[in-house]
Structure 1
Amino acid sequence: MHLARLRIAAFALAVLPLSVLTACGEPASEAVSPQSSASATGFPVTVSDSQGEVTLAERPQRIVSLSPSHTEMLFAIGAGDQVVAVDEHSTYPAEAPDTDLSGFTPSVEAITSYDPDLVVLARSAEDAVRQLSDVGIPALLMPSATELADTYEQIELLGRATGHPESATKLANQVESDIADIVEEVEAATEGRPELSFYHELDESMHSVSSQTFVGQVYERFGLNNIADAATDGDSGYPQLSAEFVVEANPDLIFLSYPGADGDFDNVESLTQRPAFDTITAVKNGDIAQLDPDTSSRWGPRVVDFARDVADTVIASGES
């Protein structure tokens, strides 16, 4: 399957019908040291996910994570040593155990082969959760984030569930603070400038994000006007735009968040060669940003990297 289609499917089962499943800005908040949070004290503990309450009698020692965003959260809060398996798209951090488990179509048989005492899933995996419960394996089902607050809440939930509540709270607070600082920096650098419009492209077929999505919410923090809001496809928040629509909307900034041919992570030149795109303000001024496909689609702690990339593009646009 083409990687662009995999990225569409990654958000599909939870918040988008067609979207994304990593750009080089400043590093995201550093992973929090396990320190004393590795203690098994505080159990049993009961947490609430999208399905209801889940009780963990003991601190889990064998965690299977079938969501890239949650895998990143687990390692960042200091629970990486407890993770024994992850899904095929959990490629970060590098020490995440490499498997071919699917997060899209979870196989309970494959999951149980790792003898887990906690399974973390995202999207629509209710059937898998029920089957795991039937064999006595606790599972947490957490949908894709729709706003930044969801990221902070899920980090803290995983902290309580894995025995790392203090480091999780510290990480959540740090991510929130980092983003607030980046937004403040942009506000200071752009004071007095006119508002900017933008187009975020998810794939070659020109699917985009509206402001009601998690990605759109990040852009909204910077006061940017999203051209896709005028073309929202039903309630999905991920409309497919046409070249004519984008040209007419004439965005000031363009962000690309998918790899190009042969895994190349620079689609800027290809976009500029589209018919009539040379008339778009963003293209004329060179205000096109190639984003890291993972950091610009996942709602884990590296959302700070995404915010940094957006901020750098906004600030640089005034220098064109």
Structure 2
Amino acid sequence: MRKIYLFLLCLLFTSFAEAQQRIVSLSGTISEMLCALGLESQIAGVDVTSTYPLSLKQKPKVGHNRNISAEGILALRPTLVLGLTENTNPQLLQQLKSAGVKTVLFKQELSPDGVKALLRGVASAVGSQAKAEAIQNQFDQQMKGLKINPVNKKVLFIYARGTGTMMVSGTGTPVEKMIMLAGARNAVAGFEDYKPLTAEALVAADPDAILLFDSGLKSLNGPEGLLKVPGVAQTTAGRNRKIVSMDGELLSGFSLRLPAAIKDLHNKIL
């Protein structure tokens, strides 16, 4: 009888502790996982990449990546801050720890296995391991259900914020990983991360399709605006008007929506 009492007391304490959580998420991918775990009501604030589900837009915003300040986070009185190692300023981490706020950072691996590993890490940090197992099983089934056949197409991703800021994606970026998962290949190689777009390099790459974030294509005034960028009209993609765009977080976030993102990208570049 005593063991049963202690067990019930433990469950009650755990539920109470969870109910008192005030979580600040510094990653859209993590925010999405918290919502999938049923903890949206415990999210006190999010970064600007936290756009899914749409209800997260009502949450207080703390900024974007390395521009996030400790003051903005601490004003939300968090009991837990979650983020990604590669996107979190080390100085911010030190400030949060100095303020006594529990902060957990995760290294994100850009793969289906990496999605599951991040889910398990987030679930462990918030005490929702049991729920995570069911979500992971569903994710596995969705990945198994994908029918992605390789396509002989070169895809060039352009990060754009108007014609004044245009960069192309090299090797090792989340978008390149997505292009590969969708059965195609990156139109450029020989450099990591991003570099400025030039007309000469664009023509030399001669992509079959040009990929942008929805927001990036909008900043160029749509496909017609992109076709006016020097070099674009001279590519196979330009001549065939094969210009596609996707929501930025869906395309590059490597979240639980990864199966849907892969399928969407594959279909768009066919």
Tell me the equivalent position of 1:225.
185
The CA deviation at 1:76 is 1.9
The CA deviation at 1:101 is 1.5
Tell me the equivalent position of 1:14.
none
Would you say the 8 A contact 1:118–1:138 is kept in 2? yes
Would you say the 8 A contact 2:48–2:63 is kept in 1? yes
Would you say the 8 A contact 1:247–1:277 is kept in 2? yes
Tell me the equivalent position of 1:246.
202
Tell me the equivalent position of 2:63.
102
Tell me the equivalent position of 2:7.
none
The reply on whether 1:214 has 2:174 as its aligned counterpart is yes
Would you say the 8 A contact 1:199–1:227 is kept in 2? yes
1:84 to 44, 49, 53: 44
Gaps of 5+ in 1: 1-39, 45-57
Tell me the equivalent position of 1:286.
241
What is the alpha-carbon distance in structure 2 between the residues aligned to residue 297 and residue 201 of structure 1? 13
2:250 to 295, 298, 301: 295
The CA deviation at 1:85 is 1.6
Moved over 6 A (4+): none
Would you say the 8 A contact 2:27–2:83 is kept in 1? yes
Cα distance change on mapping 1:129 and 1:220 into 2, 3 Å: same
**Bigger relative contact order, structure 1 or 2 (CA pairs below 8 A, ≥6 apart):** 1
1:120 maps to a residue whose letter is L
Cα distance change on mapping 1:264 and 1:128 into 2, 3 Å: closer
Would you say the 8 A contact 2:209–2:243 is kept in 1? yes
Tell me the equivalent position of 2:211.
255
2:125 to 156, 161, 165: 161
The CA deviation at 1:212 is 1.6
Number of positions where the alignment pairs a residue of Structure 1 with one of Structure 2: 252
The Cα offsets for residues 201-222 of structure 1, whole Å up to 9 and x where unpaired, read as 1114431223422221121123
Tell me the equivalent position of 2:142.
178
2:256 maps to a residue whose letter is P
What is the alpha-carbon distance in structure 2 between the residues aligned to residue 276 and residue 238 of structure 1? 18
The CA deviation at 1:142 is 2.5
What is the alpha-carbon distance in structure 1 between the residues aligned to residue 102 and residue 240 of structure 2? 53
What is the alpha-carbon distance in structure 2 between the residues aligned to residue 170 and residue 240 of structure 1? 43
Tell me the equivalent position of 2:114.
150
The reply on whether 1:313 has 2:242 as its aligned counterpart is no
Gaps of 5+ in 2: 1-9
Would you say the 8 A contact 2:80–2:101 is kept in 1? yes
2:244 maps to a residue whose letter is A
The Cα offsets for residues 244-292 of structure 1, whole Å up to 9 and x where unpaired, read as 212122111211114258x569632222233443332222223221222
Cα distance change on mapping 1:287 and 1:75 into 2, 3 Å: same
Would you say the 8 A contact 2:159–2:216 is kept in 1? no
Would you say the 8 A contact 2:188–2:205 is kept in 1? no
What is the alpha-carbon distance in structure 1 between the residues aligned to residue 37 and residue 229 of structure 2? 44
Give the TM-score normalised by structure 1.
Answer: 0.68
**C-alpha RMSD of matched pairs (Å):** 2.9
1:125 maps to a residue whose letter is N
What is the alpha-carbon distance in structure 1 between the residues aligned to residue 182 and residue 118 of structure 2? 23
Give the TM-score normalised by structure 2.
Answer: 0.79
